[in-house]
Amino acid sequence: MAETVALAGRGILILDPSSTLISGDAHLDEGIVLWPSIIIQNLGGRIDIGRGTELFSGTRIVAAGGAVTIGAETDIGEEGGFTIKAGSGDTIDIGDGARLLGGGSLSLTNRIGRGAQILGPIRCQNCTLGDGGTYRDPVPDQRGGVLKGSGAARHVEVPQGHVIQAFGLFTDAVMRRQSYFHPKG
């Protein structure tokens, strides 16, 4: 508990240190916000979390022999937490400005690009979402790749400016331009 509280001296905001578990060898940059009930657990792997990232309640990050790298200014776990687990030999890379919301999970090896989003309780395994602007970018087709809905996404690739919405298996769903969901007009 004392080690967790000491992180505040490094510019990390921990809203409830008594409900927050952080492995001592996880690397956290300054400006990170940790909501209550967060677990960051390094079990023989590597965890790096970039500056300004916000981890919401119910988020669990585990490196069980693998590596988890989270870029700067990401939002993870709003609307139901999120689980990120890299097993032995797995690598999970999450780019700057990504958003992972709504109770989903990443396991095995995944690359979630800069500005990419996972919106909903989606179990992602071996997925790649392309780099792009964040959800605030005024041009939807320039944003990072998006998965939204619920279900399982395995070996799915979504390039910049595209989205797959599904309720079940994402490999069976249609990929569309983001402007389909956010038309100008």
The per-residue pLDDT for 185 is: 59
* Dihedral of alpha carbons 173, 176, 182, 185, sign: negative
Each residue's pLDDT tens digit, 117-128: 999 999 999 999
Which pLDDT score is estimated for 9? 79
Instruction: Please report, rounded to a whole number, the percentage of residues in the chain having pLDDT higher than 90.
Output: 90
Q: What angle do CA 175, 53, 143 make, to 5 degrees?
A: 25
pLDDT of residue 137: 95
User: What's this model's pTM, rounded to 2 decimal places?
Assistant: 0.95
Which residue type, as a one-letter code, is found at position 151? G
Mean pLDDT computed over every residue of the chain: 95
Alpha helices (H) in the chain, listed in sequence order:
2-6
Helix, strand or coil for residue 134? coil
CA atoms within a 13 Å half-sphere pointing along the CA-CB vector of 38 = 23
Q: What phi, psi does 140 have (nearest 5°)?
A: -55, -35
Domains of the chain and any CATH numbers: 2-180 (2.160.10.10)
- What confidence score (pLDDT) does residue 50 get? 98
d(CA 184, CA 181): 10
